[in-house]
Amino acid sequence: MKKIAIATLGCKVNQYESASFVSSFQETGCEMVPFTSLADVYVINTCAVTARAGQQSRQLVRRALKTNPDAKLVVTGCYAQMEPQQILGITENCLCIVGNGYKHLLVEAALTKSSCDLSMLMGNVGLKREICPLQVRRFSGRTRAFLRIQDGCNNFCSYCIVPYTRGRSRSVPLKEVLDQAAVFAGEGYREMVITGINVGKYGADLDEGETIYSLFSRLCRDFPDMRFRLSSIEPTEVNDALLDLMSGLPNFMPHLHIPLQSGDDRILSDMNRHYSVQYFTKVIGEIHAALPDAAIGCDILCGFPGEDDTAYTNTSRLIEELSVTYLHVFPYSKRSGTLAASMKNQVPKQVKEERVRKLRTLDRAKRDVFYARFVHTTQKVLVEQRNRKNKLLQGFSENYLPVRFDGPENLSGEVVPVRIDRMKDGELFGTIEKS
């Protein structure tokens, strides 16, 4: 019995893919162990969205080599796709690199005694026209399942390396999506997060006539006891069809995560984002009109080349005015091979850091305002786990409120009614309501 250790960096798609590796390894009789343990095979699913992610990827390779120099090392993911030579240069040990277009072959490559054929396992991901077939049985330690329906991206935003590391948009055929959803339902999951690199483009590459909207309609109706949540969607893909589904289907959770990136039209144009500030503002207004209690999250990319004080102020002012719930704020990171990497007027690191700090303070204020609205209301909460510090159970409401409350351990994975009693230091506390 081989011992396998897996480390995963980055997005929910990576997490889904790593979970599929676990399922396949376990089916062959392997034992999964923590990444810090002695293992026969170490798998590192890397990320390349920032320079920091690339650095972390290299650190994990070195950590595995230090833990067991005789182990087989398998490296995959976006950093492996983008910088295979840098990874090969870290060690002379047996090292296998699996490209994003060949992840369905990773387990077989990891368990074979022969050396990996990089020419067979890398390839040009930009030429791939079908998505890797990857199935998952369970997500270890998670009460929500991630359901990958799509991979790749055709947008080519000027700052983003993902279209080069994951290729063009490719969708999972409808039957395979429904089969995977049925597996998760059979395993007892009560919530699925529908995920991909650009989920709004679901179905465009298939001949099935499906869209992200028809898919959600089918999932919500076929699995009425399952909560469905959309991981992220472009503002140009939020329309009446989506909002009608969310307001009309009780198991389509009222929560949207929409990348804004900048609140300045000039910067949006330089980013190759295909909407204006006015358009984005209109979308937020339409969401609130259809779903008054919905949580709305936004991605902000701070310090993009050419972001002067005026552009930053425009972003900050827009966010202050918009009724959004929370922000994910990232400093711009130069990625070799993208258009933005060669742009002039790169923003100094200390300026980026200060702007990020201010926007994250604004994020905290936005969350507090939204959370406070729901004190003294009852919410349906999916129980996740017990908090290590205060020993209370915690979970998320339908509109993504994080709530903590007292209760027995066996509630993990169940949906329970919780009355929110108070908010303290930005956290919500409640009491389970008796039926």
pLDDT digits (tens, 9 = 90+) for 321-363: 999 999 999 999 998 889 999 999 999 999 999 999 999 999 9
pLDDT digits (tens, 9 = 90+) for 133-154: 999 999 987 889 999 999 999 9
Question: Which residues are CB-contacts of 28 (< 8 A; sequence separation ≥ 6)?
Answer: 107, 111
**In CATH, 255-373 is 3.30.70.270:** no
- Domain positions in the chain are 3-123, 128-253, 255-373, 378-432
- Please report the pLDDT score of residue 122 as a whole number: 77
Dmax of the chain from CA atoms? 62
128-253 has which CATH code? 3.30.750.210
Residue 431 bridge partners (DSSP): 419
- Please report the pLDDT score of residue 117 as a whole number: 63
- Burial group, residue 3, by CB count within 10 angstroms (0-12, 13-18, 19+): middle
Identical fold between 128-253 and 378-432: no
Q: Give the residue with greater pLDDT, 297 vs 434.
A: 297
pLDDT over 70 percentage in the chain: 99
Residue 120 has pLDDT above 70, yes or no: no
pLDDT digits (tens, 9 = 90+) for 1-60: 899 999 999 999 999 999 999 999 999 999 999 999 999 999 999 999 888 888 999 999
Query: Model confidence at 119, in pLDDT bands (50, 70, 90)?
Result: low
pLDDT digits (tens, 9 = 90+) for 259-282: 999 999 999 999 999 999 999 999
**In CATH, 3-123 is 3.40.50.12160:** yes
- Please report the pLDDT score of residue 381 as a whole number: 97
- Please report the pLDDT score of residue 162 as a whole number: 93
pLDDT digits (tens, 9 = 90+) for 54-99: 899 999 999 999 999 999 999 999 999 999 888 888 887 778 999 9
Residue 170 bridge partners (DSSP): 151
Write down the architecture of domain 378-432 according to CATH.
Beta Barrel (2.40)
Residue 114 has pLDDT above 80, yes or no: no
Backbone angles phi, psi at 251, to 5 degrees: -100, 10
Q: What DSSP letter does each residue of 356-382 carry, written as one string?
A: HHHHHHHHHHHHHHHHHTTTT-EEEEE
pLDDT over 90 percentage in the chain: 84
